[in-house]
Amino acid sequence: MQLRSALLLGTAISLGACTQMPAPSDTRGADAPVPSAQPAPQQPIEERFPDANANSVDDFDLTTEAERQEAAAPAPIGGETSLGTTVASLGDPASQGFWLETPLVDAETEGRVVYPETGESASVTLRPIPGEPGAGSRISLAAMRLIEAPLTDLPTLEVYAGG
């Protein structure tokens, strides 16, 4: 019986020691920082991707506060051209940045969208998509949040090119 007790005690001590060891697939040292889910701000926004376990708006929108402030900067005085209005839906939430995919442009250009309901605007990259000018557009998650449009609505936006 003593041998059995000694074996059980030895097994318990060994298992207890295992909890102090890093997992076999963990190649970081015990003092190494755990990588954050948020990418480094130096990484271009187009190269950021949400974590595979992303399930909230904040998990998908990886823009930094500085990027949001830059996109929310007041519109320049003059130099903008009104392209009209468009009804927009939420675009691919994993595609980062401030953009509007719209048939209102023939080539990618810088612009701005205004959501009249809130008066908020965002500087965006206008990306061309096929369709008639009234066919509708898709807006990025970051831009939609910045203009304070409800994510499940189809907001009517004023679209401007240039600036």
Mean pLDDT on 121-142? 93
| Residue 86 confidence (pLDDT) | 96
**pLDDT, greater one: 100 or 72:** 100
| Residue 43 confidence (pLDDT) | 66
Lowest mean pLDDT among 17-26, 64-73, 119-128: 17-26
| Residue 105 confidence (pLDDT) | 96
**pLDDT, greater one: 72 or 50:** 72
| Residue 94 confidence (pLDDT) | 86
Mean pLDDT on 118-134? 93
Q: Quick check: 6 pLDDT over 70? A: no
65-162 CATH pick, 2.60.120.380, 1.10.599.10, 3.30.420.310, 2.40.40.10: 2.40.40.10
Predicted TM-score (pTM) of this structure? 0.65
- Angle ∠(7,12,17) on CA atoms, nearest 5: 125
CB atoms within 10 A of CB 29: 7
**Nearest alpha-carbon partner for 100 in 144, 40, 48, 64:** 144
Assign 35 a pLDDT band (cuts: 50, 70, 90): very low
| Residue 66 confidence (pLDDT) | 78
Mean pLDDT on 90-98? 91
Lowest mean pLDDT among 24-38, 64-78, 118-132: 24-38
Find the Cα–Cα–Cα–Cα dihedral 154, 75, 120, 139, rounded to 10°.
30
CB atoms within 10 A of CB 48: 19
**Nearest alpha-carbon partner for 72 in 147, 154, 129, 155:** 147
Q: Quick check: 64 pLDDT over 50? A: yes
Cβ–Cβ under 8 Å, residues 122 and 72: yes
Assign 102 a pLDDT band (cuts: 50, 70, 90): very high
